[in-house]
Amino acid sequence: MSRSATAQAASPRSCAKDLVWVLVTGAVFAIGCAWNAAAAPAADPALMSLPAPIRDGEPVVVRVGFDLRDINAIDDESETFEFEGVMVLEWWDERQAFDPAAEGVDEKLYQGAYQFNEVFVGWFPQVVLLNESSLFESHGVLLRIRPDGSLRLVQTINAAAKTDLDLRAYPFDSQKLEAIFEVLGFDESEVSMQPALANRASIQDQEAEVRVPQWALVNVETVSRRHRASHAGNLGVASTLVLAIHVERKSLFMIRLVIIPLALIVVLSWSVFWMDQSSLGDRIGVSFIGILTVVAYQIVLSEILPRISYMTLMNGFLNMSFFIVCLSVAVSLWVGSLDRSGQTPVGDLIDRRSRWVFPLIYLGLLLIVVVATIVIVQ
């Protein structure tokens, strides 16, 4: 018999073996699935039927505490800030109550993503950051359940949030950074978010831990707020909790880098009023050096100052300095013209008066800018 005939005769036997192997493998897989299903804890329908533990028509109160650990960055231009800390959620659900004697434990504990997401069965507030800016991470989770049905969920938060910054008083401004948290999908008739009854850490401890370049932490508070949201149940109004972080900018950097050197340059440009009227070229040269210096400062600061449409206190200082130096050029040209026309005494009088008029004009303009900024900010 040829080899091809032998192969054709053996093929039905080979197919039978493959079929038996497939059937045995499928049977083993089915038995394993059934065994895992029998060993897995059964979900209690009472815990899954209600979306939230509402009792007597009253919303479930979720107490929220936040222990701020660090502020990683504050971006003036994009109006965002990145922060991290520990969030604590506390609420009560009578469906989670248990008998310690029957369970053999005084407290049920679920820690880690697997135990919390896979083993724990029941309702919990799914908190989201409404003003999130491309970052919201939770690196750890711990759930404690007491026999009376009180639950305490602890999780770490690392997030970036958008906030409204008012930079008109820059670099002497203070800001309130807000992170707005909401329980996703529930309106205020179902879930009410409230600040924790006691702070987990004092503001002194947080000031010792939080370090932000060019900023000083003033205060941290949590307040409740109503927020209109079409996705929040039937009412369309959700209960939110706002983490408000009050910070002040440390202005010494801009004072020593810009304000003091530029003010000295402006003052030195007034030396032209003590120079001889006939040396018009020297007077104009000194004034133009001051102008070019102010322009160079504006170019350098364009990379530091936030790119915003409204005027800041620093912008006003730069513009007033530029204006007063340009005005000294006009006065020098006027005095030079009087000297050429033979009116030297009049030019001397203008120089003498300019020696005290220019400082008064400069201080007056800066005072106007400061007062206008304070009025607008308030």
The pLDDT tens digits of the residues spanning 295-352 come to 888 888 777 777 788 888 888 898 898 899 889 888 888 888 888 888 888 888 988 8
User: What pLDDT is attached to residue 159?
Assistant: 94
User: What pLDDT is attached to residue 2?
Assistant: 45
Distance CA 192, CA 332 (A): 70
Distance CA 236, CA 187 (A): 6
The pLDDT tens digits of the residues spanning 148-183 come to 999 999 999 999 999 988 888 888 889 999 999 999
Percent helix / strand / coil, the chain, rounded to 5: 45, 30, 25
CA trace torsion 84, 85, 91, 97 (10° rounding): 110
Token duo for residue 245: 């972080």
Distance CA 102, CA 100 (A): 5
**3-state secondary structure labels for all residues of 115-174:** HHHHHCCCCCCCEEECCEEEEEECCCEEEEECCCCEEEEEEEEEEEEECCCCCCCCCCCE
Distance CA 250, CA 273 (A): 37
Q: Which CATH code for domain 48-250?
A: 2.70.170.10
Distance CA 17, CA 150 (A): 59
**Which architecture, in CATH terms, is 253-377?**
Up-down Bundle (1.20)
User: What pLDDT is attached to residue 374?
Assistant: 78
The pLDDT tens digits of the residues spanning 46-96 come to 444 455 666 667 888 999 999 888 898 898 888 999 999 999 999 998 888
Distance CA 113, CA 116 (A): 5
Token duo for residue 46: 């009472």
User: What pLDDT is attached to residue 351?
Assistant: 86
- Average pLDDT of 210-234? 82
Question: Packing angle between helix 280-301 and helix 313-340, nearest 10 degrees?
Answer: 170
Q: What are the C-alpha distances in Å from 229 to residues 183, 253, 365?
A: 11, 42, 47
User: What pLDDT is attached to residue 359?
Assistant: 92
